[in-house]
Structure 1
Amino acid sequence: MTSQDGGLPHAVEDRYRLLLDSVTDYAIYMLDPTGIVSSWNAGAERFKGYTADEIVGRHFSAFYTPEDRERGEPERALATAASEGKFEIEAWRIRKDGTRFWASVVIDPIWDKKKRLIGFAKITRDNTERMLAQRALKQSEERFRILVQGVADYAIYMLDAEGHVTNWNLGAQRIKGYGADEIVGHHFSRFYAEEDLANQLPARALETARRTGKFESEGWRIRKDGSRFWASVVIDAIHDEAGALIGFAKITRDMTERREAAEALEKARQALFQAQKMEAIGQLTGGIAHDFNNLLTVMISSLDILRSRLHEPREARLLDNALLAAERGSQLTGQLLAFARRQSLKPQVHDLNQVIETFEAILRRAAGGEAAVKIVLSHEMRTVLIDSAQFEAALLNLVVNARDACGADGSIEISTEVVTFHEAERLLFSTAAAGDYVKVSVTDNGPGMSEDVLSHACEPFFTTKEVGKGTGLGLSQVYGFAGQSDGHLHIVTAPGQGASVSLYLPAKEPVARGDRHEHGAASTVLIVDDDEQVLEAAVEMFDSLGYEVLTASHGPAAIDILRRDRRIDVLFSDVVMPRGMTGFELADAARKLRPELKILLASGYPVPAFEKSGGGRSDTAFISKPYRWSDVLERLRNL
């Protein structure tokens, strides 16, 4: 049975009305084609505040905010629903009491059987709480984004599931050097060092985070400019609500300064331990050497007395051998006392450049004929207070060690410079006070030392040489001399990278270059001879004549000395020498460098050609071997 107008039966219509009236979570009501409210349910009354009597017959625009009414939003909603079959929106609406609520609105057009618009069905739901929750979440996410973006000490960014960068904060830009537009979309493996890429560390890091939820490590990473920094890294896996992996959160911190500070502290601890160990060994060694010296004194005195009373050749030879062995033992104890810093020093103010130049010939001979020896002396020099004989012994020990390390085909460099230790650097040089030092270095290109060998290098009797090729007291003597001179010994070495052993001696007054002759100082002679005994005899002779002496064993070495030392007044050279340069050739080259130089040539052969060609020069003289000091002095006076 139907109603008289052909609609639903009255009973069915009543049930629908009861159903709609019982719905309280949705406002469900009808509008006529012009927007006038024609029905009203309990849900509409509950969250809009109007009773049916108060709202039925009024235009539905009463629910719109003033600004929406001014823009014609109610009319546009009905027009859209009529033309498109539906209108949906979420927006602010007004309750009866004037308060606002966030509404989810659906408007459907109602058509009769003849397709005529007879009105609209309007369903509204109050989503204020959901909207406020979403807004709070959005604000929270925005605050978190701003917080993350503002963090400068940590690189905080996201990766997708394959490891591509999806966002980038200020800390990441500061630490790694890339702007967001330069890195977003690129794979994070570009931050890894070549060795880590070869070991597939980026892939293993993501796999660990994917499998366990987190990956943590420290290691070297690469900045945009190619420099390295020590990074602390945490990678967390990010999953959605269904548990599917959607990417990774990555946090990186630059720990380079902390690592360097820790390494410096560890080096300081090791240096302190080494200094304490060497001090303890030095005290023990000094005591033993002192007591052993007393025993040797008794032995040598007794053997010397016996030797003076014996005349039998066989017994005399035995005593001579015993005396020789005892004297060698005395030399060993002298080296031990040097290590223990108990040797008797006679410190005087010296220019180390001058000491090295005077000692150069002996250093070159100690280095061997084949090893290339380079001497680099600083032009800006300070004096030092040292025992020159002990310094020469220390330098000779370093050159011999360098020669043994690099072999005949190696190279050795002896250099000087003035350096300054600041207070902070005492962490690495715990036995040296802050201040200015003259640094004397002997550097070789040998195999270098391991850390273990380096830690024992200065200990008495420690040696890596074959049995019978060293006592292990060379560096010990240098170490002791440095300490007793208020200085410091420092070794820089690594396997395969050679070694550089440096003596740091406290600097005194600046060396006044070029003033020595103006103040009437003694003249300087450069003696050149390839015969070691003849050279040493010439050194003694000129020294007794009051000259400061420099030496060279061949012409090219003499030319090098003449180029860098302007103090030389006299060149005294043998005529016949190796290395393809005779004394005549050396004299010609020396005149081109130093026209004012006085030259005295000596030879065991008659040289008539010299008398004809060069003998007439007022700055050149010739003397035959053998010569006496009086002959040399006469030639020098004539010059």
Structure 2
Amino acid sequence: MARKTTDTAALTQAGLNLIGQALSIYDSDLKLVVGNRQFQEMFDLPDQLCRAGADFGDTIRALVDRGEYGDVLDTEGFVQSRVEQAQAFEPHYLERTRANGRVISIEGSPLPQGGWVTVYTDITPIKRQEALLRARSEELSDQVLTHTEELTQTNRALGAANAQLEEAKRQLTEMESRTRLTAEMMPAHIARIDRELYYTFSNRRLSTILPDRPADIVGLHAAEALGEEAYDRIHPYFEKAFQGDASVFEFTHEGTGRRMRVALTPDVDGGDITGVYILSMDVTEETQARAALNQTRKRELAAQMTSGMAHDFSNLLTIIMGLQSRLAGMDLPPDAQELVTATTGAARRGGTLLDRLASISGHRDMRLEATDVGTLLRTLETLATPTLPDDVALDIRITGLPDPVLIDPGSVQDALLNLILNATHAIGAGPGTIFLTARAIRETWLELRVTDTGPGFDPQALEHAMDPFFTTKGGEGSGLGLAMVYDQTTLAGGQVKLFNGDCGGAVVSIRLPLRIASAPAAPRLVLLIEDNPDIRMSVREMLTDMGHQVIEAASAEEAEGLIGLDGLGMVLSDIVLEGSETGPEFLARHARDLSVPAFLMTSLPSTDPRRNTASFPVLSKPFTQAELSAFLSKEVLA
């Protein structure tokens, strides 16, 4: 790279030496950047004042000492005055007669990054011709000659000014080009509309925010450019913006399933609003992550509120069941035995209810893995079919869905089973059909929709069906089924919607973020650190089945001699290890020198500080090979 830079500088210098005029370029610190051979020869400058870095003030001082500017009484004052003029960087054109009698024109132009370039031209021959013309032309009056000379000088100055204007125009054109290129590279749509709602500017990114919309929208009306749905959602805010109210708002575009954030800013010119600037962004992934985070926080709050109550309730149920057991062993009348049996059953049902509460409020890690949705739904059909009445059919359809996708197959299967059982209850005596469809919505959502031919949701169910403990099954239901579906889906960053179909049946739509499974991480040499030999063997086999080579260590001390091996491509360590150092501590100590991905695995609960403070990605045990592969692929390619 240095050789190439040196060659370029030499070629540039050679080119400047070929021009017929003297040229110098000084930077904003008044240091010489480059001067050609004519510059040195015209002013007979020593070599040290023609090298890059030579000080402008030193050059002026040398010229003063040589008499270039005639008799100068205060050398330092003269030098300081010229330095101050140079620091102002004003464009200029002047003609000066040197001490040797030769006349030069000096044309200076500031540079946008600071400093200036000056071109010196020897115009002595031109001046001699003018003098000769004055001496020999008896026909021309002194006034005409004077005007001719003034006109010639003015033309030269005008030529210099035109050159400066052309340079400024070129710089403005380049700046506009860079600004437009920067705007077009932004991951957002930037635009402006006039008062008639026609686009006057666009960075051509609308189609990346709203697929199927045109990219070139300048000159189009907002309704035509945005489409009916988006225009209807944004138009009221346009009206507010033209009244002077800036706004930022979000909406979900049902046609694409994307979440949009739009910022509108009035364009005020002289007190009048002439248009509106628009900034639009696709915040779908942000919204998904935000929904998952909010649900996690709700879980933590629910766990805090219910843990103490559940503990006391569990103790009460234990006492009740113990007393009922003693009563059941006594010689009681038949009616009393029935009461004992009923009470015992109610207590056990309370225990089941506690388990379900724990499953909602307790922590649950998402276990994403590359999943073939078709295979998952066929397995689900095998599980669900035996629970369906003979006259209730299950119809599964998959359309336009890429495989594999990253989902938590266990939670998805649990949720769909729950919905199928609810649909069976809604159909009742039958006959009827339960439709389960899977499809991709653009490149944003994986939608799983369960539709039944029952009577549909009543208004109360549509409003409260996902609230905990709400049920339409009377005493047979816990009211936690749909609440668990909502919890599992929201925890994954998804959405659950309930509505009635066109034919009256209930429809439950689950939308999960559509994440196409990454290709497995390329085979690498993996350092596996695990103190349990059985687990180490199991994880080693998973890694080798994935194509990796594995070297093993049972502690941080053993791993110390392996961490620096040539060709090491990945480190996977347990958090808790034998010896004095944990996995996170070992990896943190080597973090500066470690140039390969490092990961942790653990069976510690999420509340354990040793896990929470780890600064490396963590995979919860136990895990399958598919979960390990998805985890490593996601983190390595992130």
TM-score (norm 2): 0.38
TM-score (norm 1): 0.38
